[in-house]
């Protein structure tokens, strides 16, 4: 079942947490058939924020981004499934909620670029997933189990 086990890093940002969207967003990934393998509710410190958003250091919005992402708790998760990184990014929408199609998370729950509810690893950035998963999770924090629904999600999964 190797092609079902791609892992991707997802994080509900402080605005999503404060607006009570954790359940709604988790539901969307569950409904899609993805498997939750790790999750943690944390307050990011400045060092973690700098490391996570290192690629944006020096950009005009960087300081505001670090201030925002450390301003309250975030819910970090790892989801697993076929083509998970690309599929999750498609469910998330564009970086700017104003450009995001209705039906996507940012398109349904946001209006402002600086408060776009959710982070997901970039499928176009080869190393992003592994880097972000490693940054937020230790290997022993992943839960090893079979998701029974997988037998109905994937045609080639056995019952
Ligand atoms: P992404 O979250 O869709 O991958 P990135 O370009 O990687 O988008 O930017 C990371 C985050 O930085 C965005 O999600 C958004 O919160 C913030 N951001 C990006 N560009 C801007 C901007 O021009 N103004 C304010 N915030 C921005
Ligand atoms: Mg990005």
Supply the DSSP symbol for 147.
-
Q: What is the pLDDT of residue 13?
A: 98
Q: Are 81 and 87 in contact (CB under 8 A)?
A: yes
- From the alpha carbon of 122, which atom of ligand 1 is closest? 4
The correct CATH number of 5-140 out of 3.40.50.620, 3.40.50.300, 3.30.43.10, 3.30.70.141 is 3.30.70.141
pTM score? 0.97
**How many Å lie between the centroid of ligand 1 and the Cα of residue 95?**
6
Residue given tokens 């349904």 in the structure block: 108
Domain ranges of the chain: 5-140
Q: What is the pLDDT of residue 126?
A: 87
For the chain, percent of residues with pLDDT exceeding 90: 94
pLDDT score of 1 more than 60: no
Q: What is the pLDDT of residue 157?
A: 86
Q: What is the pLDDT of residue 21?
A: 98
Looking at every residue in the chain, the average pLDDT score rounds to: 96
Structure token digits, residue 55 = 């690629």
Query: What is the C-alpha to C-alpha distance for residues 121 and 135, in angstroms, rounded to an integer?
Result: 12
User: Is 119 part of the annotated catalytic residue set?
Assistant: yes
Q: Which residue has the higher pLDDT, 126 or 47?
A: 47
Supply the DSSP symbol for 36.
E
Per-residue pLDDT tens over the stretch 43-75: 999 999 999 999 999 999 999 999 999 999 999
- Rounded to 10 deg, the angle between the 84-92 and 22-32 helix axes is 140
Nearest CA to ligand 1 atom 27: 114
Q: Is 116 in the pocket of ligand 1 (CB under 6 A)?
A: yes
């Amino acid at each position: 079942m190797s092609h079902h086990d791609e892992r991707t890093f997802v994080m509900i940002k402080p605005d999503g947490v404060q607006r009570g969207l954790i359940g709604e967003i988790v539901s969307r990934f569950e409904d899609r058939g993805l498997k939750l393998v790790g999750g943690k509710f944390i307050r990011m410190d400045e060092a973690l924020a700098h490391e996570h958003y290192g690629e944006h250091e020096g950009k005009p919005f960087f300081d505001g981004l670090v201030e925002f992402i450390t301003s309250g708790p975030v819910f970090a998760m790892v989801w697993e499934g076929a083509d998970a990184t690309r599929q999750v990014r498609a469910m998330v929408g564009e970086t700017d909620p104003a450009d995001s199609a209705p039906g996507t998370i940012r398109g349904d729950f946001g209006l402002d670029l600086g408060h776009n509810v959710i982070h997901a690893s970039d499928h176009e950035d080869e190393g992003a997933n592994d880097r972000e998963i490693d940054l937020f999770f230790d290997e022993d924090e992943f839960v090893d189990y079979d998701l029974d629904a997988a037998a109905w999600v994937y045609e080639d999964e056995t019952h």
